Amino acid sequence: MQKHPDLTSSVHDAGGRMTRQRRVVLEALASVTSHPTAAELYDLVRQRLPGISPGTVYRNLKVLKDLGYVQELDFGADASRFDANVASHYHVRCDCCARVEDIPMQPTVGIEDAQPALTGWQITGHRVEFHGLCPECKAQQAQSHQQEGE
């Protein structure tokens, strides 16, 4: 989660209000490393605010994303996932179960600076996504192959 000395003031400065629901959504997202979907985050938030609606969670995610406190990870056909870590970092996604995790490596520095001369584009950022099988799916696949061979 982006560290800010006064999140409420920052939200107010951007023209919003720091409601209890907004704070709980952000705190719930920051409390996990699983990169939940909005529906999964809704389930987490309901543990603290049982009466909250899915729409309230979705709207607050959008506001927090627009303010730069949340990162949305869009993997195409799968539901978007959300991350309270807005610092530049890379992710890995399982092709089998769609689990998403952070990759413990430093992002490539300066890569945006090299591209305009090659492409003519004005580069504003980059995102690298790795994909493969998570340890659990890899083990299940190996076990399935072993059982087929018996």
- The CA distance from 135 to 55, in Å, is 34
Among 68, 86, 104, where does a domain finish?
86
Q: Quote the domain boundaries for residue 20.
A: 1-86
Same domain, 123 and 67: no
Chain position carrying tokens 């982006």: 2
Are 6 and 49 a contacting pair, CB within 8 Å?
Answer: no
pTM (2 d.p.): 0.78
**How does pLDDT run along the chain (150 residues), one tens digit per residue?**
444 445 666 666 666 677 899 999 999 999 999 999 999 999 999 999 999 999 999 999 999 998 888 999 987 777 899 999 988 899 999 999 989 999 988 888 777 777 767 778 888 777 888 999 999 999 999 988 888 766
Q: How many domains does the chain have?
A: 2
On whether both 75 and 136 belong to a single domain, the answer is: no
